[in-house]
Chains A and B, each alone.
Chain A
Amino acid sequence: MSDPASVVSEDAFLRPILAVAAKDLRLELRGKTGLLSAVMFAALVLIIFNFSRDITLVSNVDFAPSVLWVTFAFGSVVTLNRAFHLERENAAFDGLRLAPVSRSSIYLGKLLANLVFAGIMELVTVPLFILFFDVSMGRAWLGVAGVTALATIGFVSVGTVFSAMVVRTRFAELMLPVLLLPFMVPPLIGATQATTRLLAGRPLSELWGWLRLLALFDIVFVTLCALTFWAVVDE
């Protein structure tokens, strides 16, 4: 990267994205309520799941991956619900819209912030999950982390766009899961299947297909969302 022109253009691409993400993170870390409730919500889902099966019939290792992914899915919906709420207050989003940055940059910035929030929720959930369900991650933890990252990017990318849409309605909290859950199905299936194989210590070749599906989903939907975001935020 010795060419100064390319450094400048890369900077011009990344800077607004990071600025938008940093603004959201700063706001959330000052308030904390949203993130804290999302984490608590995820923990409570885990607890409720524990009572939803007969432990003498279903073993932990068979049950655990689906529990983990349903919890991640619901937890993400809760974190996403807040993504554009703050922008509504005091018409903060008008300020963002007036900023001389592309709509795609705003989208990618919001996506980045939402990924950090969802990631924090997942980071807190995993130790609780290991504790409650007595799962030994062993060497699978790296693989599970990778699968989690791929799947989370997938549904948070779509969720960020939907979250920007539903704040314009009166029933935003209800509308978001209704719109988003069908879109979460492919990444959730991929993630659950891959996690099951990882926890069972299966070879990597068995989950290669699922990983490719997850990656393809991310590429297609992040691109599509970044390209159509203007249609969601412009007036």
Chain B
Amino acid sequence: MSTPSAGRSAIRNGLRLTLFGLCLLAGIYVLALHYTPMEIRQGLAQKIFYLHAPAAWSALLAFVFVGIVSVLYLWLQDPRLDLFAASSVEVGLVFCMVMLTTGPIWARPVWGTWWTWDPRLTLTLLLFFIFLGYLALRAALTDRSERARFSAVIGIMGLLLVPFIHLSVYLFRTMHPTPIVLKPSAPSLPPVMLTTLLASFGVATVLYIAFVMVRYGLALEAFAREEADLAA
């Protein structure tokens, strides 16, 4: 098996991509603070949007991948799929943390409260806990194949739970700004702001890929080491 080298090269390439992504992130800050106009009612607080929304995007991307890869794992039983899912969960949790910290910082001056039980906030918080539980269960299991199968089942369930949480909490009145980009009509954002936002989504995606590559490479290395220990 050529996993050691595959793991190493994934880590190396992931680190390079991370460096590149962080440079791009610095570019986003410059773009957001210097070239994008100030929002008239929210003022400077609105700038956090260029960090909050892309973090939300990457977290969602991470958890959707976990769900899809989990289905594939139950079908193909390839341990690499499980390692990828676990890596994606960890990275998703990091982006989730960014979203859950930047949100209240913005909400305090704009909504006048740190937290509210709005559908999207509740959904994010619950997803955060589901995938924290996913990692806790993984840590508590010793058998590798058992760990992979249980994780896959939770991954699929987590993805299916999303519409239910959204639906059930949506029946309460929502306070969160409604989507402004991904909606049936044209995006209702000034062109400059939209460019900055879309660029920040791109950067968040690059960072997601970079982080998962590094984490996945590390997981591959650990897997290969375990394999060698078992063989010895």
Please list the residues of chain A having a beta carbon within 8 angstroms of any beta carbon in chain B. 158, 161, 165-166, 168-171, 175, 178-179, 181-183, 185-186, 189-190, 193, 209-210, 213, 216-217, 220-221, 224, 228, 231-232, 234-235
Binds A, one of B14-22, B89-97, B130-138, B203-211: B130-138
- Write out the residue numbers on chain B whose beta carbons fall within 8 Å of the beta carbon of A232: 149-150, 153
* Interface pairs A-B: 6 shortest CB-CB: A169-B140, A186-B164, A186-B168, A231-B149, A189-B168, A179-B133
**Distance in Å: Cβ of A176 to nearest Cβ of chain B:** 10
Q: Which chain A residue lies CB-closest to B128? A: A182
Q: Do A168 and B165 touch (CB < 8 A)? A: no
| Complex partner residue of A168 from B129, B133, B143, B171, CB under 8 angstroms | B143
- Write out the residue numbers on chain B whose beta carbons fall within 8 Å of the beta carbon of A158: 157
Cα–Cα distance between A18 and B80 once the two chains are bound (Å): 39
**Distance in Å: Cβ of B171 to nearest Cβ of chain A:** 7
Cα–Cα distance between A158 and B161 once the two chains are bound (Å): 11
- Write out the residue numbers on chain B whose beta carbons fall within 8 Å of the beta carbon of A217: 164
- Write out the residue numbers on chain A whose beta carbons fall within 8 Å of the beta carbon of B146: 168, 235
**Distance in Å: Cβ of B154 to nearest Cβ of chain A:** 7
With A158-B157, A168-B146, A186-B165 known to touch, is A178 a contact of B171 (CB < 8 Å)? no
- Write out the residue numbers on chain A whose beta carbons fall within 8 Å of the beta carbon of B130: 179, 182-183
Q: Do A183 and B157 touch (CB < 8 A)? A: yes
- Write out the residue numbers on chain B whose beta carbons fall within 8 Å of the beta carbon of A179: 130, 133, 136-137, 154
With A168-B143, A224-B160, A228-B153 known to touch, is A185 a contact of B165 (CB < 8 Å)? yes
Q: Do B74 and A231 touch (CB < 8 A)? A: yes
- Write out the residue numbers on chain A whose beta carbons fall within 8 Å of the beta carbon of B141: 168-169
Asked whether any CB of chain A lies closer than 8 Å to the CB of B156, the reply is yes
Most chain B C-beta atoms within 10 Å of own C-beta, residue among A161, A186, A210, A231: A231
Asked whether any CB of chain A lies closer than 8 Å to the CB of B38, the reply is no
Q: Which of B149-177 contact A (CB under 8 A)?
A: 149-150, 152-154, 156-157, 160-161, 164-165, 167-169, 171
| Complex partner residue of A178 from B126, B133, B143, CB under 8 angstroms | B133
Q: Which chain B residue lies CB-closest to A212? A: B167
**Distance in Å: Cβ of B69 to nearest Cβ of chain A:** 14
Please list the residues of chain B having a beta carbon within 8 angstroms of any beta carbon in chain A. 74, 122, 126, 129-130, 133, 136-137, 140-141, 143, 146, 149-150, 152-154, 156-157, 160-161, 164-165, 167-169, 171
With A182-B130, A185-B126, A228-B153 known to touch, is A175 a contact of B161 (CB < 8 Å)? no
Q: Do A178 and B136 touch (CB < 8 A)? A: yes
Cα–Cα distance between A216 and B163 once the two chains are bound (Å): 11
Q: Do A182 and B167 touch (CB < 8 A)? A: no
Q: Do A185 and B133 touch (CB < 8 A)? A: no
- Write out the residue numbers on chain B whose beta carbons fall within 8 Å of the beta carbon of A189: 168-169
**Distance in Å: Cβ of A141 to nearest Cβ of chain B:** 24
**Distance in Å: Cβ of B15 to nearest Cβ of chain A:** 33
Cα–Cα distance between A168 and B140 once the two chains are bound (Å): 9
- Write out the residue numbers on chain A whose beta carbons fall within 8 Å of the beta carbon of B140: 169-171, 175
Cα–Cα distance between A124 and B129 once the two chains are bound (Å): 32
Q: Do A224 and B126 touch (CB < 8 A)? A: no
**Distance in Å: Cβ of A196 to nearest Cβ of chain B:** 12
Q: Which chain B residue lies CB-closest to A170? A: B140
**Distance in Å: Cβ of A232 to nearest Cβ of chain B:** 6
Knowing that A169-B141, A178-B136 touch, tell me 9 more A-B residue pairs with CB under 8 angstroms: A166-B137, A175-B137, A185-B168, A189-B168, A213-B164, A217-B164, A231-B74, A232-B153, A235-B146
With A175-B140, A231-B152, A232-B153 known to touch, is A220 a contact of B160 (CB < 8 Å)? yes
Q: Do A190 and B168 touch (CB < 8 A)? A: yes
Q: Do B171 and A193 touch (CB < 8 A)? A: yes
- Write out the residue numbers on chain B whose beta carbons fall within 8 Å of the beta carbon of A182: 126, 129-130, 133, 161
* CB-defined A-B contacts under 8 Å, sample of 24: A158-B157, A165-B150, A166-B137, A170-B140, A178-B129, A179-B133, A181-B129, A182-B130, A185-B122, A185-B126, A186-B164, A186-B167, A186-B168, A193-B171, A213-B164, A213-B167, A216-B164, A217-B164, A220-B160, A224-B156, A224-B160, A231-B149, A231-B150, A232-B150
- Write out the residue numbers on chain A whose beta carbons fall within 8 Å of the beta carbon of B154: 179
- Write out the residue numbers on chain A whose beta carbons fall within 8 Å of the beta carbon of B167: 186, 213
